[in-house]
Amino acid sequence: MKSLIIDDDATARLIVNKLCASVDNIEVVEEFSNAIEAIKFLNSNTVDVIFLDIHMPSFSGFDFIKTLKDPPRIILTTSDRNFALDAFEYDCVVDYLVKPIELERFKKSIDKLSIFKNKEMTTDIQSSSEPSVNDLYVNIDRRLIKINIPDIYLIEAKGDYIKIKTENTNHIVHSTLKKIERKLPSDMFLKVHRSYVINIHRIIDIEDNSVLIKKDVIPVSRSNRGELMKRLNLL
């Protein structure tokens, strides 16, 4: 995979270069001390991944990401631990590496990158607009956790987070209902309330303006009740 290094610190660029050289499938094609020069390069070149510092003079790493219409995968490399949650608001961000970066941690990051690239290749060859895979990967504490989509029975919005409830465990993820809805098969999941998405195959009972799923009683808004009833196999 072709990579780019963007960091205003020459020593940091050298370290990332050496880390890339220690793995087989990463080739550093160029490095830059500022984001502006990198943008010029990307106007006529493509790469698979960018190793990007956050704090740079006049133009931060987040500013850089916002300027890209179709960004490649990005691995953030920074000495600041405080922006991890903000970082994963960007779909292109694969991982968040805190300096000094150890080799084993770097290799785990490359493994994550490979997972994303493989999923992208699978998506590219699918002719259907609906996802055909049953796996959803969520980022929790800088780890990618795989969830079997049919096991999900309820997703609840909680401020800046969502709670994903499955048969075996619950996951708290920094995301939104709107974002996860796009990742789920529409024939299985339905937003029934501004704070809830349910797996309609897991409904046990419906009464008035609520549904029972396992032990959870979920409100159904008036505007969504009609769509819910259309989805049910009524006798």
Total domain count, the chain: 2
> 202 and 94 in one domain?
no
In the predicted structure, residue 129 carries a pLDDT above the cut 50: no
> 17 and 81 in one domain?
yes
> 11 and 91 in one domain?
yes
Q: Residue 61 sits in a domain of what CATH number? A: 3.40.50.2300
Stretch 205-215: mean pLDDT: 90
> 154 and 116 in one domain?
no
Tell me if 171 is assigned to some domain: yes
Last residue of a domain, one of 124, 145, 161: 124
Tell me if 115 is assigned to some domain: yes
pLDDT of residue 55: 92
Radius of gyration of the chain (CA): 21
| Pick from 223, 174, 232: nearest CA to 199 | 232
How would you label 177-191 residue by residue, b for 16+ Cβ within 10 Å and e otherwise? beebeeebeeebbbb
Stretch 212-222: mean pLDDT: 92
Residue-range definition of the domain harbouring residue 190: 135-231
Stretch 111-137: mean pLDDT: 63
Share of the chain above pLDDT 70, in %: 93
- Reported as a pLDDT band with limits 50, 70 and 90, residue 235 is low
| Pick from 116, 114, 150, 146: nearest CA to 132 | 150
Q: For 64-120, how does the pLDDT look when each residue is reduced to its tens digit (9 = 90+)? A: 999 998 889 999 999 998 888 888 888 899 999 999 999 999 999 998 888 877 666
How far apart, in whole angstroms, are the C-alpha atoms of residue 190 and residue 227? 9
Tell me if 113 is assigned to some domain: yes
Residue 215, phi then psi, degrees to nearest 5: -105, 10
Tell me if 142 is assigned to some domain: yes
- Where do we find the tokens 């502006």? 36
Last residue of a domain, one of 100, 124, 148: 124
Stretch 32-38: mean pLDDT: 93
| Averaged pLDDT score across all residues of the chain | 88
In the predicted structure, residue 130 carries a pLDDT above the cut 70: no
> 106 and 47 in one domain?
yes
In the predicted structure, residue 190 carries a pLDDT above the cut 90: yes
How far apart, in whole angstroms, are the C-alpha atoms of residue 97 and residue 53? 10
